Amino acid sequence: MTSKRRNLHICRVEDHGRGGDYWIVRLIRRGKTTSRMFSDSVHGGKRKSLVAARAWRDETLDPVACDAREAHRRIVVRRNTKSGVPGVARYAPKTGRHPYWTAFWDEPGAGRRAKKFSTRIHGERGARALAVEARQEALVRLGVTDGVAAAPWSAP
């Protein structure tokens, strides 16, 4: 594990002479911030306070909560989406090829998966509908069933 990864969510603050030197752990989940400071003077030095900060972070970052966060990220509708459905996007290549709609999802152990639907073959509405359907089927197969309904949409 790299040093950067080992210190994920941990930052060093060196405030010589004022409040002392410390490590701070800051976690943000669904807009709620949780943080804690680990002072060198309280924990007996820089390394010991870092060990304490890592231990608190690992204890606080519950693996079940992290899995729930990942599931939430897969189904939340983003503000910048043009399709109205998370994991469904329209691509228009500049190389003269026809636009297409793509459905994306993450398969555990297999990585990111995608399925493309051509607007030339299926038309705009048909390609989008097939992409939404492919995405919904993949999420149902993965056990994620919340928030997969398609939003109303009009062709560009």
Whether the predicted model's global pTM rises above the 0.75 cut: no
The whole-number average pLDDT for the span 55-63 is: 82
Q: What is the β-pairing status of strands 88-91 and 32-39?
A: unpaired
Give 62-121 as a DSSP string: -HHHHHHHHHHHHHPPPTT-SSSSTTEEEE--TTSPPPEEEEEEEETTTEEEEEEEEHHH
The whole-number average pLDDT for the span 87-95 is: 86
pLDDT recorded at residue 150: 45
pLDDT recorded at residue 105: 83
Q: In what order do the strands lie in the sheet with 10-15?
A: 10-15, 20-29, 32-39
Residues 74, 144: contact at Cβ < 8 Å?
yes
- Give CA separation, 93 vs 6, 97, 101, in Å: 40, 6, 11
Most confidently modeled range among 80-84, 108-112, 132-136: 132-136
